[in-house]
Structure 1
């Protein structure tokens, strides 16, 4: 695309303020489009400089796609309808990760969203996992619907200062009112509170079980309830599907904060004669009106309500420390896109000592991140973040492929080590993850018996598909280890259902083993139980020779910990294999 055209297109996109805006009011459109065309997936996408944003979607979970992998990039470039009846037969798309990966997209149709200036800023799209055809009438209808979506976006930008469901001022009006405060009330104090009522999960359940009409009526009733409760002390805004903003008008901010905390938000709310109990979470920001408040205050109020949600608190007051933490988390997730491409991630390998032979026969692959500006980011910080997003799939693939590549070299040089790879709960829910594992083993020439997949204890209880995936992986000949065993569910009845081959005793059980007789009895009993069920037992966190001698006597099979070795680079791990076992005295 011509640079000048692209620059104008991006400017038109950002002028509409829709990339970072709430587009939940378009969700009805995507649902209806999917139903009308009888496809499982419909979405409205916006093409930014480096990525595609799925701003309203039906039948798809991910929200962001790299622009290079986006189908809609081609629709926008042509500024015309694009229909791919079978992606596997189209040279432009047959190798696309959305086609070859878990999504398995076989059909795509996209009608561009054209601004009055003639720029294509995105598309209204259809997708399916099987080839399809669109006749001339259907193609014309899709283009008409795309024009409707574009008109809706333009109308909302021009007039959209009132929420269509509740009839209350929305977040755009809140932004304007905050900007006006900068001139009219500079130096004065105000309170901005965000209230989530109901919470997102409850909202989804209500809409699913009782229907959209009941839900919309509920939203209107909640809006009125909050407005009545503040009794003129604040302006009330409907700033999101389930989120309301309260901006104090004047007076004592401490008194208004106390008034907020005293609101009876737990009382049932009726919708079409159905009383509904609602959870609510609120964040409070007491601030001084000054420059930048229109941007800064909503962000800080959002940080406060996020903290309330995370802590399951009715109210949370803005904390700068928590805000900094949230901003760091957001940056890490944003920067992870580049890291997955190999810019900062690396693997370390913590050796496992075979307690029967005294040899090192395997290791656990451990992911490390050296951020270009933030330095070393602890795994306990970034892994829980990525596990909540679609990035967990490419990240796990990166770990898997790089581990197998290292193994190929070690095996070729005469060190047939078994390596354990950690999977998250979401990995076990991915379709075809077992097939991807097998394909990667074939590609790198690694026999599956040399691969072990580690699952945190209890992952099999979180999703019915997780247990099924574990069985599929086991049928490939790979081992499955239950990580952190003894710290979570410890539901022994489940052990009979699991295809696991290894249990790993968590280091928290081992830390005080030498000085705590009770811990000794627990660990010994766990080893005896696991061995009696034909599991191999790996003990983590071995840091003293006395601990090593105890677990060896009790029948453990393998050990890992700083007594034996810290996590090593691939080169140092190979040197360890060459040197053989050498346990410090």
Structure 2
């Protein structure tokens, strides 16, 4: 518009110079020369010049006035159009800004806006609470009902969250089935808000005429105890939420630095354990199993140990759970089985009746290839299958079909099976009668209480009688006193192990302590 005005300005100046100045002068001279005009009084020249100038200037002025009016009208229209365009751009910018800061599905403020709000609040406030919410079992709802129903469900959740939180708190959609509530109320009220949210989820959601039930896992972090910036506060609330989810969901957890330090230690331990598998830091210790009626050595239980280069000997209770979670247990379990078979096979040159018991983790047992792994180890080490006992726990028998299939494949190899820590799990006695189990191992918790709590002795007697009636042999763990050993023998328990006989020892010490050239009574 400004360029158009500028162009018209120059054009008008050009026309005025031509028609008001140049053409009248040229025309006047031509008339004087053509008609040989010679006026005595100069006023006639002035009249002639004025007339000629008016002749040329009046039309051009009329033209310029009309042109000016048209230009002004055009400019006015352009201004109106520009104003409309400006209004549209303003609305478009407002819409873009809203979309950039709000979730398109729920209309809640989104993750981008969350960080903006948190950064401002964290810089100004002395107290601030973050509640990180994750829906329990949302994936199953989404998979079962479909994504469209899942979207409807998320919308309904967002509405219920807004209704559940008090004034002074606002809800954001972090993404997926995750929501974040920022509370400006005193930090002490964060737990109250979490409880209100959990109560709000007790009522079902109706989606497409179907009632859907869900719960939530909530993690809480506070400013300034758990962080001073948005990133740290959200991260710690997220970590606390995962702890709530690991605890079974439908609960809340407040961030704990002690728990985080423990997780960090577990992560370091996992990394070190991976290195231990590669650098031969793992050892196998052997604990003797004794015939309680004769005192003679029957077999050994192989127990893995970890000799950490910095921390020394790490107990299995500290690193076996780490191996289970990380999946390293399969590799470690196979190594222990093969190493122990090789070692006891060497002792068979002196005593070919020695048995070997090896613990099996639930992840090993659930591996469809586990029977093949056992078969391969037996072939490599040439260990007699009938002298190998694999110890499983009661919880491994929960899946009837899979448990029976694996047990039958192992038994087909000639290997025997024992239920470890019997009496502490959740197995059904009806299943026990149908599974081909060779040994029941009485848990140390029963053995250690036998002398001080007479009812425990009755429980032990019941376990022994049941095992014998099912044609199973009994092994008692944790024997530390002669009285325990005597009572177990009197009750009919055939075998036992514990510190009364020997603690788990490295292979070299076993060879020294037990002259394997003959079956000798334990000193």
Q: TM-score, normalised by structure 2?
A: 0.72
Deviations 1:563-585 (A, max 9, x none): 1111111211222331765546x
Change (3 A) 1:382 1:462: farther
Q: 1:236 aligns with which of 155, 171, 183?
A: 171
The residue aligned with 2:186 is 252
Task: Report the CA distance shift for 1:251/1:332 in structure 2 as closer, same or farther (over 3 A).
Answer: same
Contact 1:217 1:272 in 2 (8 A): no
What SS is found at the alignment partner of 2:515? helix
Distance 1:301 1:515, change over 3 A: same
Q: Secondary structure at the match of 1:521?
A: helix
**Unaligned 5+ runs, structure 1:** 1-158
Is residue 192 from structure 1 mapped to residue 126 from structure 2 by the alignment? no
Q: Would the alpha carbon gap of residues 383 and 290 (structure 1) be closer, same or farther in structure 2, given more than 3 Å must change?
A: closer
Name the SS of the counterpart of 1:561 in structure 2: coil
2:236 matched to which residue of 1?
A: 300
Q: C-alpha displacement at 1:410, in angstroms? A: 2.5
Q: 2:430 aligns with which of 493, 497, 512?
A: 493
Larger RCO, structure (CA 8 Å, separation 6 or more):
2
1:509 maps to which residue? 446
Residue by residue over 1:41-74, the C-alpha shift from the partner in whole angstroms, topping out at 9 and shown as x without a partner, is xxxxxxxxxxxxxxxxxxxxxxxxxxxxxxxxxx
Contact 1:191–1:257 (8 Å) recurs in 2: no
What is the CA deviation profile of residues 222-242 of structure 1, one whole-angstrom value per residue up to 9, with x for unaligned ones?
233223433563443444543
The structure 2 residue matched to 1:470, chosen from 407, 423, 427, is 407
Identify the match of residue 337 of structure 1 among 274, 282, 296. Answer: 274
Supply the distance in 2 between the matched residues of 1:457 and 1:495 (Cα, whole angstroms): 9
**Counterpart for residue 226 of structure 1:** 161
SS at match of 1:325: helix
Q: Is the 8 A contact 1:207 1:214 kept in 2?
A: yes
Distance 2:292 2:359 in 1: 22
2:214: which partner in 1?
278
Aligned to 1:205: 140
Aligned to 2:316: 379
Question: 1:226 and 1:562, CA in 2 relative to 1: closer, same or farther beyond 3 A?
Answer: same
- Of residues 350, 356, 367, the one that matches 1:419 is 356
Q: Compute the displacement of 1:290 (Å).
A: 9.1
Counterpart of 2:259 in structure 1 is 322
Secondary structure of the equivalent of 2:301?
strand
Checking the alignment, whether the CA contact within 8 Å between 2:422 and 2:442 is kept in structure 1 is: yes
Q: 1:370-407 deviations in whole A, cap 9, x for unaligned?
A: 34445544322332343244333222222222222323
Q: Which moved more, 1:486-495 or 1:471-480?
A: 486-495
What is the alpha-carbon distance in structure 2 between the residues aligned to residue 162 and residue 373 of structure 1? 52
Cα deviation, 1:271-318, whole Å, max 9, x if unaligned, reads 333221112221211221897634432332233223323444622222
Give the equivalent residue in structure 2 for 1:520. 457
Residues 237-269 of structure 1: CA deviation (Å, up to 9, x unaligned): 444543322223x34222344233223232222
Match of 1:480 in 2: 417
Deviations 1:503-538 (A, max 9, x none): 000011111112322111211121122112111110
Matches of residues 419-458 of structure 1 in structure 2 within 5 Å? Answer: 419-458=356-395
**2: distance between equivalents of 1:348 and 1:181?**
58
Paired residues of 1:429 and 1:463 also in contact (CA < 8 A): no
Residues 355 and 303 of structure 1, relative CA distance in 2, 3 Å threshold: same
Contact map agreement 1:303 1:322 (CA 8 A) in 2: no
In structure 1, C-alpha distance between the alignment counterparts of 2:306 and 2:100, rounded to whole Å: 43
Look up the SS of the partner of 2:460 in the other structure. helix
CA contact (8 A) 2:131 2:190 kept: no
In structure 2, runs of 5+ residues without a counterpart are: 1-98
Deviations 1:118-144 (A, max 9, x none): xxxxxxxxxxxxxxxxxxxxxxxxxxx
Distance 1:569 1:286, change over 3 A: same
Change (3 A) 1:179 1:550: same
Paired residues of 2:295 and 2:522 also in contact (CA < 8 A): no
Change (3 A) 1:346 1:534: same
**Alignment check: 8 A CA contact 1:352 1:361 kept:** yes
**Contact preservation (8 Å) 2:164, 2:196:** no
Q: Secondary structure at the match of 2:295?
A: coil
Contact 1:539–1:559, Cα closer than 8 Å, also in 2? yes
C-alpha deviations, 1:8-49, integer Å up to 9, x for none?
xxxxxxxxxxxxxxxxxxxxxxxxxxxxxxxxxxxxxxxxxx
Equivalent residues of 1:188, 1:289 under 8 A apart: no
Choose 311-320 or 433-442, whichever is displaced more.
311-320
The CA deviation at 1:439 is: 0.7
1:541 alignment partner in structure 2: 478
Give me the whole-angstrom Cα distance separating, in 1, the residues matched to 2:370 and 2:201.
44
Aligned to 1:552: 489
Q: Sort the Cα spacing of 1:175 and 1:443 in 2 relative to 1 into closer, same or farther, 3 A.
A: farther
Over the aligned positions, Cα root-mean-square deviation in angstroms equals 3.0
Q: Tell me, in whole angstroms, the C-alpha distance in 1 between the residues paired with 2:430 and 2:182.
A: 53
4+ long deviations beyond 6 Å: 159-165, 289-292
Mark the CA change 1:575 to 1:237 in structure 2 (over 3 Å): closer, same or farther.
farther
Alpha-carbon distance in 1 for matches of 2:329, 2:308: 18
Asked whether the 8 Å contact 1:300–1:323 carries over to 2, the reply is no
Mark the CA change 1:268 to 1:453 in structure 2 (over 3 Å): closer, same or farther: same
